[in-house]
Chains A and B, each alone.
Chain A
């Protein structure tokens, strides 16, 4: 009995909803203005926060590289250049961590082997090696590395102190470990360490 009424009511409902869809289509799926404003405010707040967290002094630009199947990083301000290491001249009477010397455009630069310094296994043959030249005002030397992986920005606050099982020598030159498990070296410490200078005292 009520069916024709029901039908009418349903039809009118259908029409209403169609009209609603049409309106929304015309508005381009826009949401209600107050909702829109609220979302914009929310987003603004988010962005404002992120901006604050990434103040430049908290950021550290590092060069990441691999050595003996481990990941390392070092502040890019200490890196002068990276070269393929084709040949080097070993020297007698130098500490084991001095791999030898190379000729970089007429200047002689010594090459240090971090694997010896950090007591890493010397195995794990790399097909090709590179030389990472570190420099400061009064020091310059190269590090033997396997490969350069790239440049990354890391947050200083995200650096964790080295795990307790790292050996003493290594811990001395570390800035920390990132969450990606790359070990960040302290370039200034490496370059400034008088123990890493060879000065025969005879």
Chain B
């Protein structure tokens, strides 16, 4: 204990040094301005406060000489502040003298006791209004203080810096995506060179044989060939530019990446705070709680000097508060009960931070109270319908103590304002897992509970696997993803009507992600399944997704103030291309999966991949309308793809087989009429049924639509889903 006190003293002294340095700086500046332009009220007030605070700080660390000096100095300034004394030149000089002496003391120079005593006397005399004589010998000017090596910055500023670093990371990701696009663009330019070589010979022959043609044709051909030459030169120029742009883009992306990474690294170290900042205020809180509950407690804190990432400490504050509340409210007994069990009357709660490895630490909260009441926990679980009697009986002690983490269960008989709402431990677990930690609990009846939080020391960048499912993109935290698998469809077998997969000798349950999230899933294509093997709290399970888009670094954002907590979601992130993507919550997914009854996987083998529903394409520039049309058509059982304008629709049609096109008329780049005409003019697509859906409803427009080759023309204002579905059914 005495050792601890010594360490504390050292710490206090260090912080006093920083504080005094600052205050002396303010004092010196303030006094300097006094000499030049007299003293303003605010200036006197400010100096008075500085001296007063300095006195207080000196007293706190037991630096008696500075405290006494400041005390006398404060009396003088107080009299000046109150207006009972005027600020004469002599008094200002006395203040400057006092400052020099304090500076000297602070700098650790040998103290001259006599000089100090004299100064204190002078200051006090001056405060009484007595005339004083300035000492003749000028105090030695203290050595110029070394450049301040440390700065104190408020935690709020760090948050702002963090926000910017995160924004920079976002830009880095965007730049990388752009650089990739530029690369693709450049690559798309390459083939033209090869083509030109092939065509070169033919052109040459054409040029030579042109002589034989009649003059008129010769001129026309020459003009055409010239145009071709010009076009090729133009193409070369564009190709060349594309190469340059790609280089510049890559360069920019790289410098941004470097900048962002070094900033993140620097911040990482700036953000390391001592664990004591987490513990601040907690001893007082624990005492308050205990006295409210009529209990007596000592809180022991150990290892608080461990340096931990501020973001982790921030996240830990409320779980830790929760754990301590639990310990006081549930864990500890009243002094009477404790005495009856032969324990000391004062309960003991120990809080310890222990470094486990280079990048992980443990936060341990231990009490010596009554421990968990397992029988009561089981009874509650049975009462809440989570377990049957038999299941409850079969639970081992370790398994039963895990029930604490189930929300809705509280062993506190009465609902106090401290705890007992049955959400506590679930929330603690949630917050711990959110920052990549895990929680363990040990309990011995009559001896107390020990909770271990295993946590990372810093928040490194967050990686996620990006998947697409039911036409939506999701991010899955890479921490939870053990493997990504691509297996033939028959690898998933039904056992007791539940789809399972045997992997590395273990039988794992399989769910379709769409089912778990309650989305309508699509028919699967090629007989192969894309599977994610997740591991959550030691349990492995498999999710079926449609497509794997890769894995990348992401920044985690919350879902805004209105969506405080959404089931299955951890947050959202912005991908490099600006797309906003929800991040899935692995723990929730497992819980939701267990509750999922409908499974499209069960009947999948029966249907087989060859049953193809009819594919429709929607071309519509308004996303609202697009969404509505999609919903209507999917509701009717069609498979739907969308395009946001005519040109996009045209490209989509050229790429994949579609059974019908539903198109808006007014669209950017290519309108519905042109799109229809183009389809009718195309050899492959000419038979494709086209339904135009539009806000234009004059007879002329209708005529124009039909003339362009549309099979049906529906007007939006009179738009009912029946008429659309009728039209489609008649056409395909």
- A: which residues have CB within 8 A of B? 85-94, 98, 101-103, 106-110, 112, 122-123, 125-129, 138-141, 196-202
The distance in angstroms between the C-alpha atoms of A129 and B621, with both chains bound, is 12
B462 at interface, CB cutoff 8 A: no
Nearest residue, chain A, Cβ from B474: A92
B565 at interface, CB cutoff 8 A: yes
The distance in angstroms between the C-alpha atoms of A179 and B517, with both chains bound, is 46
Most buried by A among B574, B623, B624: B624
CB distance from A124 to the nearest CB of B (A): 8
Whether A202 pairs with B518 at a CB distance below 8 angstroms is no
The distance in angstroms between the C-alpha atoms of A87 and B472, with both chains bound, is 13
B685 at interface, CB cutoff 8 A: no
The distance in angstroms between the C-alpha atoms of A59 and B731, with both chains bound, is 58
Interchain Cβ contacts under 8 Å between A and B, 25 examples: A86-B623, A89-B579, A89-B581, A91-B569, A93-B566, A93-B569, A93-B592, A98-B562, A101-B572, A108-B558, A112-B562, A123-B719, A123-B720, A125-B624, A125-B695, A126-B625, A139-B561, A141-B561, A197-B564, A198-B564, A199-B565, A200-B565, A201-B407, A201-B423, A202-B588
Closest 9 CB pairs of A and B: A92-B517, A200-B567, A141-B562, A125-B625, A89-B580, A93-B567, A199-B564, A110-B562, A110-B560
Whether B567 pairs with A101 at a CB distance below 8 angstroms is no
Whether B407 pairs with A109 at a CB distance below 8 angstroms is no
B582 at interface, CB cutoff 8 A: yes
Q: Which residues of A contact B561 (CB under 8 A)?
A: 138-141
B235 at interface, CB cutoff 8 A: no
B443 at interface, CB cutoff 8 A: no
Q: Which residues of A contact B307 (CB under 8 A)?
A: none
The distance in angstroms between the C-alpha atoms of A12 and B301, with both chains bound, is 119
Nearest residue, chain A, Cβ from B591: A202
The distance in angstroms between the C-alpha atoms of A200 and B574, with both chains bound, is 23
Using A93-B518, A108-B559 as known contacts, say yes or no to A127 and B622 having CB atoms under 8 A apart. Answer: yes
The distance in angstroms between the C-alpha atoms of A144 and B515, with both chains bound, is 28
Q: Which residues of B contact A94 (CB under 8 A)?
A: 563, 566
Q: Which residues of B contact A197 (CB under 8 A)?
A: 562-564
Whether B622 pairs with A101 at a CB distance below 8 angstroms is no
CB distance from A197 to the nearest CB of B (A): 6
- B: which residues have CB within 8 A of A? 167, 170, 407, 423, 472, 517-519, 557-569, 572, 574, 578-582, 588, 591-592, 621-625, 628, 666, 695, 716, 719-720
CB distance from B472 to the nearest CB of A (A): 7
Nearest residue, chain B, Cβ from A138: B561
Q: Which residues of A contact B558 (CB under 8 A)?
A: 108
Taking A92-B569, A127-B621 as known contacts, 8 extra A-B pairs with beta carbons closer than 8 A to each other, sorted by chain A number, are A85-B623, A89-B472, A106-B170, A107-B557, A107-B560, A125-B625, A126-B625, A127-B625
Nearest residue, chain B, Cβ from A144: B624
The distance in angstroms between the C-alpha atoms of A127 and B578, with both chains bound, is 23
From B560, B568, B624, B719, A93 is in contact (CB under 8 Å) with B568
Q: Which residues of B contact A200 (CB under 8 A)?
A: 565-567
Chain A interface mostly helix, strand, loop or mixed? Answer: loop
Q: Which residues of A contact B565 (CB under 8 A)?
A: 198-200
The distance in angstroms between the C-alpha atoms of A93 and B623, with both chains bound, is 21
Whether A98 pairs with B580 at a CB distance below 8 angstroms is no
CB distance from B168 to the nearest CB of A (A): 11
Q: Which residues of A contact B592 (CB under 8 A)?
A: 93
The distance in angstroms between the C-alpha atoms of A141 and B559, with both chains bound, is 10
CB distance from A34 to the nearest CB of B (A): 63
Q: Which residues of B contact A101 (CB under 8 A)?
A: 559-560, 563, 572, 580, 582
Whether B582 pairs with A91 at a CB distance below 8 angstroms is yes
CB distance from B162 to the nearest CB of A (A): 13
CB distance from B577 to the nearest CB of A (A): 12
The distance in angstroms between the C-alpha atoms of A89 and B577, with both chains bound, is 14
Q: Which residues of B contact A89 (CB under 8 A)?
A: 472, 572, 579-582
The distance in angstroms between the C-alpha atoms of A93 and B568, with both chains bound, is 7
The distance in angstroms between the C-alpha atoms of A109 and B559, with both chains bound, is 7
The distance in angstroms between the C-alpha atoms of A201 and B716, with both chains bound, is 42
Q: Which residues of A contact B591 (CB under 8 A)?
A: 202
The distance in angstroms between the C-alpha atoms of A196 and B563, with both chains bound, is 9
The distance in angstroms between the C-alpha atoms of A92 and B563, with both chains bound, is 12
Most buried by A among B423, B563, B569, B592: B563
Q: Which residues of A contact B716 (CB under 8 A)?
A: 125
Nearest residue, chain A, Cβ from B564: A199
Using A91-B569, A125-B716, A127-B622 as known contacts, say yes or no to A108 and B562 having CB atoms under 8 A apart. Answer: no
CB distance from A63 to the nearest CB of B (A): 20
From A90, A128, A196, B472 is in contact (CB under 8 Å) with A90
Q: Which residues of B contact A85 (CB under 8 A)?
A: 623
CB distance from A132 to the nearest CB of B (A): 14
From B167, B560, B566, B572, A141 is in contact (CB under 8 Å) with B560
The distance in angstroms between the C-alpha atoms of A140 and B559, with both chains bound, is 11
Nearest residue, chain A, Cβ from B408: A201
Whether A87 pairs with B623 at a CB distance below 8 angstroms is yes
CB distance from A69 to the nearest CB of B (A): 10
Q: Which residues of A contact B588 (CB under 8 A)?
A: 202
Most buried by A among B567, B621, B720: B567
Whether B567 pairs with A108 at a CB distance below 8 angstroms is no
Q: Which residues of A contact B568 (CB under 8 A)?
A: 92-93
The distance in angstroms between the C-alpha atoms of A141 and B564, with both chains bound, is 12
The distance in angstroms between the C-alpha atoms of A67 and B582, with both chains bound, is 28
The distance in angstroms between the C-alpha atoms of A197 and B566, with both chains bound, is 10
Whether B562 pairs with A139 at a CB distance below 8 angstroms is yes
Q: Which residues of A contact B580 (CB under 8 A)?
A: 88-89, 101-103, 108
The distance in angstroms between the C-alpha atoms of A196 and B561, with both chains bound, is 11
CB distance from A60 to the nearest CB of B (A): 24
The distance in angstroms between the C-alpha atoms of A103 and B581, with both chains bound, is 10
The distance in angstroms between the C-alpha atoms of A151 and B583, with both chains bound, is 39
CB distance from A93 to the nearest CB of B (A): 4
Q: Which residues of A contact B582 (CB under 8 A)?
A: 89, 91-92, 101
Q: Which residues of B contact A93 (CB under 8 A)?
A: 517-518, 566-569, 592
Q: Which residues of A contact B621 (CB under 8 A)?
A: 127
Q: Which residues of B contact A202 (CB under 8 A)?
A: 407, 567, 588, 591
Nearest residue, chain A, Cβ from B721: A123
Q: Which residues of A contact B564 (CB under 8 A)?
A: 197-199
Nearest residue, chain B, Cβ from A135: B561
Whether B517 pairs with A196 at a CB distance below 8 angstroms is no
The distance in angstroms between the C-alpha atoms of A9 and B472, with both chains bound, is 101
Whether B622 pairs with A91 at a CB distance below 8 angstroms is no
Q: Which residues of A contact B569 (CB under 8 A)?
A: 91-93
Nearest residue, chain B, Cβ from A89: B580
From A98, A102, A125, B563 is in contact (CB under 8 Å) with A98
From A86, A88, A110, A138, B559 is in contact (CB under 8 Å) with A110
Whether B624 pairs with A126 at a CB distance below 8 angstroms is yes
CB distance from B200 to the nearest CB of A (A): 46
Whether A198 pairs with B566 at a CB distance below 8 angstroms is yes
Q: Which residues of B contact A140 (CB under 8 A)?
A: 560-562
From A122, A125, A198, B562 is in contact (CB under 8 Å) with A198
Whether A92 pairs with B518 at a CB distance below 8 angstroms is yes
Nearest residue, chain B, Cβ from A198: B563
Nearest residue, chain A, Cβ from B621: A127
The distance in angstroms between the C-alpha atoms of A199 and B588, with both chains bound, is 14
The distance in angstroms between the C-alpha atoms of A103 and B578, with both chains bound, is 9
The distance in angstroms between the C-alpha atoms of A199 and B563, with both chains bound, is 7
Most buried by B among A108, A126, A129: A108
The distance in angstroms between the C-alpha atoms of A102 and B170, with both chains bound, is 16
Whether B628 pairs with A125 at a CB distance below 8 angstroms is yes
Q: Which residues of A contact B557 (CB under 8 A)?
A: 107-108
Q: Which residues of B contact A91 (CB under 8 A)?
A: 559, 563, 566, 569, 582
Q: Which residues of B contact A125 (CB under 8 A)?
A: 622, 624-625, 628, 695, 716, 719
CB distance from A128 to the nearest CB of B (A): 6
The distance in angstroms between the C-alpha atoms of A173 and B517, with both chains bound, is 31
CB distance from B712 to the nearest CB of A (A): 17
